[in-house]
Amino acid sequence: MRDIRYLWEDYQIFDYAGVEKHLSDMAARGWRLEKTGAMFWKYRRMKPAKVTYAVTYIHNASDLNPQPTQEQQILDEYCQEAGWKKVADWSKMQIFSSEEADPIPIETDEATRLEVIRRCTGMQIWPVNIALLLLFLLEAGMLLSNPITFFTRNSNVFLGLILLTGIILTAVTMGSYFLWSYRSEKSVKQGGKCVSCGQFYRYFNRGVLILTLLLAWGWLMSLLADSGIGIFVYAVLYMVLVYLIIILMRLSAKLMKRRGFSKKANQIVLIIGNILLCITLIGTLSYVFLHPDKNGESMIQKMMKEDTAEEDSAEKLPVTLQSLQSNVPSVQFSGLEALESMDVNDDKQIEHSLRTREYSTCFMWQLQVDELIKAEDEELEWITLSYDVLKVNLPFLYEKCRLEYMKNNSLERGAHYQKEDASLWNAERVYRWYYGEDRPADEWVICRGDYIVRLELSWEPSDGQKVWMMERLCP
């Protein structure tokens, strides 16, 4: 039978009433608190007994102090004279116990208690959670700024859900503190005590953590499916290094505390150490995976190239140059009759490149295809077919996605999309890219039903090709 037990305790720092009750219940079951930690508290088995616990706060107490502050020493002496034994401290929280039947209370003025708690915990609750909330909102905003990439990648959807849980948790943390402070102030003014937080936050916090872990696992698996082994390995190593940095910083803080370094010196070392470790470890990882070699390719790009290698994928695609030539008379290729004599499967006659990528979520489906063909005759130019097909299952996102496709990323002055006759494409709306007023490009954004197509060709398609491609791309 084990005499030591570690429990994950997730009480709010201001929930002194919940901590007191919990420790008394543990003592009644034969477990006495021995040491507190950032997440896990250490308990030792002892004879079950009725023990009263009291929690108070010292504003200048810190886990980084090498020795108890003068205020802590005075409090310890006072409590010892009153029959209280110092058990542990948790940040600014001081925990005492007494086995007397009716011990002298440490706190006698509830208004003073409330003021001290606010002073000690407010600076821990508000700045940290506001900063986290702003960070989560910023990251979420960056994800949602590109609705197509967000809603077509399961990895991005999972990441968005993780950010959402973070936003909810920080908002609930601040909300629970505000509500506790408001209700306690109201109770104290009426001659009562500070109120208890109850068990809601603890259960909620644990539920959010379990959900976050499940979402993180789903994110990693979907990242592997969406982006390949390169990005997956990079993400896993990145998280491992972040966790390693946290462990190293905590170990260094404990070591410096034992060696007698002051709180300020410890904080400076932690800040500098964090920066140096992040630059060294994360920088090295990023250099190894992202830095291009002499051929201009990074390790991740090489892994992604291996992952995206296509085998006999042309037959599964709705439109290829070969299928376009087979189903529409070659005379309609307007000057590209050379295609008629080309055998796509004969590497000796032509160069052929085909890259495809497909993404699917419950919100959207996307297919990206880039095909290039060139004969050995150097006088012939590349014949290119490139399209991006998007099926939008959420109608309210349709226009956002269309506008995302039509973003003007060109540096050329006057470049824009211009609306054209949609009936030629058998579609609802068609927009063509123009470099200037009279310089149309062979690039279109086409809306038909639930589909949006961005199409780029190296020639001017005939009316027959337009209709045939739309029937295949937007069934």
- Which amino acid would we find at residue 246? I
Inter-residue contact 97 to 116 (CB < 8 Å): no
Q: Is it the case that residue 332 has pLDDT exceeding 60?
A: no
Q: For CA atoms 333, 335, 340, 342, give the dihedral sign.
A: negative
Mean pLDDT value across residues 439-467: 92
22, two tokens: 């919990």
Extract long-range pairs of 309-317: CB within 8 Å, 24+ residues apart: 310/354, 310/355, 310/356, 313/354, 313/356, 314/344, 314/354, 317/356, 317/367, 317/369
pLDDT tens-place string over residues 457-469:
988 888 889 999 9
DSSP letter for each residue of 203-267? HHHHHHHHHHHHHHHHHHHHHHHHH-HHHHHHHHHHHHHHHHHHHHHHHHHHHHHHTT--HHHHH
- Which amino acid would we find at residue 10? D
Per-residue pLDDT at 350: 59
Q: Is it the case that residue 432 has pLDDT exceeding 80?
A: yes
Higher pLDDT, 459 or 59: 59
DSSP letter for each residue of 14-38? T-HHHHHHHHHHHHHTTEEEEE--S
Sorting pLDDT into bands at 50, 70 and 90, what band is 380?
low
Q: Is it the case that residue 390 has pLDDT exceeding 70?
A: yes
Per-residue pLDDT at 304: 59
As a whole number, the mean pLDDT across the chain is 87
Higher pLDDT, 310 or 163: 163
Residue 307: its H or E element: helix 299-307
Per-residue pLDDT at 335: 35
Could you say which DSSP state residue 469 is in?
H
End-to-end CA distance of the chain: 68
Per-residue pLDDT at 312: 46
In Å, what is the CA distance from 463 to each residue of 323, 360, 428, 474? 16, 31, 16, 16
Percentage of residues of the chain with pLDDT beyond 70? 89
**Is 156 buried (19+), middle (13-18) or exposed (0-12) by CB count in 10 A?**
buried
Token pair 């972040």 is found at 242
Mean pLDDT value across residues 138-163: 94
Mean pLDDT value across residues 259-263: 90
Sorting pLDDT into bands at 50, 70 and 90, what band is 388?
very high
Per-residue pLDDT at 453: 97
Q: Is it the case that residue 97 has pLDDT exceeding 70?
A: yes
pLDDT tens-place string over residues 293-326:
777 777 766 665 544 444 446 778 999 888 887 7
Mean pLDDT value across residues 182-211: 91
H helices present in 106-146, as ranges: 110-144
Per-residue pLDDT at 439: 86
Sorting pLDDT into bands at 50, 70 and 90, what band is 344?
very low
Q: How many CA atoms lie within 13 A of 214 on its CB side?
A: 8
Strand ranges across the sheet with 4-8: 4-8, 40-45, 31-35
Task: Give the lowest-confidence range in 106-110, 275-279, 325-329, 460-464.
Answer: 325-329
Per-residue pLDDT at 438: 79
CA distance 351 to 382: 9
Mean pLDDT value across residues 101-118: 93
CA distance 407 to 367: 19
Mean pLDDT value across residues 206-210: 92
Nearest to 246 by CA among 39, 93, 61, 92: 39
Residue 386: its H or E element: strand 383-392
Looking at the DSSP bridge assignments, the partners of residue 456 are 386, 443
pLDDT tens-place string over residues 39-58:
899 999 999 999 999 999 99
Inter-residue contact 127 to 135 (CB < 8 Å): no
pTM for the whole structure: 0.85
Sorting pLDDT into bands at 50, 70 and 90, what band is 348?
very low
260, two tokens: 């007698």
Q: How many CA atoms lie within 13 A of 114 on its CB side?
A: 21
Per-residue pLDDT at 339: 47
Q: Is it the case that residue 333 has pLDDT exceeding 90?
A: no
Task: Give the lowest-confidence range in 165-169, 293-297, 429-433.
Answer: 293-297
Task: Give the lowest-confidence range in 144-158, 295-309, 403-417.
Answer: 295-309
